[in-house]
Amino acid sequence: MSALEKYLKEIYYIPSNPASFSGPDKLYNYIQKDGQFKISKYKIRKWLQSQEPYSLQRPLRRPQNRTEIVVAGIDDQWSADLMDMVKFSKYNKEYKYVLVVIDVFSKYLWLRKLKDKKGESVATAFQDIFQTGRVPNKIRTDMGQEFKAKRVQTVFKKEEINHFYAFNEVKASVSERVIKTIKTKIYRYFSYNQSYRYIDKLQSFVNGYNHTIHSTIDMAPVEVKKEMKKLFAYRHIFQDRILEC
């Protein structure tokens, strides 16, 4: 194995790496920034096409319907949804769902595994996220019963969070897009690891995502600070702009 091949595999197949299980653009940008090797985007694309996990799990590109979201800054608005992983639960200690929460402004991501989608379980997962020190002004979800549950509403009320629902087809938007991104990474990991076990690496995927430069904000989510609110002012975030987050 050449030094370049070893280098590419170390980047691509370690879930906590910002460029892990990604597409050619993010892998190329990471390598350019790292500076250890000079390699063209064409060669990176060819290398990815030779990797079975990538070639088997290439995301479909669909027409984009954009809806404008105006947010005042970091933690002004979060978007939340559930990622359905029921069919892999027997390989993952019976965990069937993942709560996906993302800050619309900074794109910072949280994931919490769930054995069910009862109100108590979802509320506990939200509380665990809030205990990290960040709480939004408002949070948007779809109209799933898990989010309407009394226990969840009690948690939101305690934290003084304005909870509202997405009603249209484009609905929960940001969280739905990131679900596609995380699922693609997980499925590529399945192909590479020859196993359907993912819960042990869930936070590694989160870490990699939060350290990846996001094309909407031109920086990694972990780099976005509250004081940047003045710099960005009111930023217009377009739903469905990014298919490969």
Could you report the per-residue pLDDT of 60-76, keeping only the tens digit for each?
454 455 455 667 789 99
Q: What are the tens digits of pLDDT across the range 84-113?
A: 999 999 999 999 999 999 999 999 999 999
Structure tokens at 224: 């976005």
Please report the pLDDT score of residue 226 as a whole number: 66
- Which domain, by its residues, includes 243? 69-245
pTM, to two decimals: 0.79
Q: Are residues 230 and 113 in the same domain?
A: yes
Give me the mean pLDDT over the 165-192 stretch.
Answer: 81
What pLDDT score does 6 carry?
A: 85
Identify whether residues 132 and 87 lie together within a single domain.
yes
Three-state SS at 176: helix
Of the candidates 188, 190, 245, the one whose C-alpha atom is nearest the C-alpha of residue 57 is: 188
Strand 68-71 to 235-238 pairing: antiparallel
Q: Look up the CATH number of the domain holding residue 197.
A: 3.30.420.10
CA–CA dist 221, 128 (Å, integer): 20
Residue with structure tokens 């739903």?
239
Task: Pick the range with the lowest mean pLDDT from 21-35, 70-84, 141-155, 223-237.
Answer: 223-237
Same domain, 84 and 200: yes
Q: d(Cα 39, Cα 49) in Å, to the nearest integer?
A: 15
Residues 82 and 48 placed together within one structural domain of the fold? no
46 within a domain of the structure (yes/no):
yes
In a shared domain, residues 23 and 91 = no
Picking from 11-20, 199-208, 232-241, which range would have the lowest pLDDT averaged per residue?
A: 232-241
Q: Do residues 136 and 26 share a domain?
A: no
- The pLDDT value recorded for residue 245 is 39
| pLDDT for position 41 | 85
Q: Are residues 25 and 123 in the same domain?
A: no
Residues 48 and 73 in one domain: no
Do 167 and 239 share a domain, yes or no?
A: yes
Average pLDDT, the chain: 84
Q: Is the model more confident about 233 or about 98?
A: 98
**Neighbour-count burial of 85, counting CB atoms closer than 10 A to its CB (0-12 exposed, 13-18 middle, 19+ buried):** buried
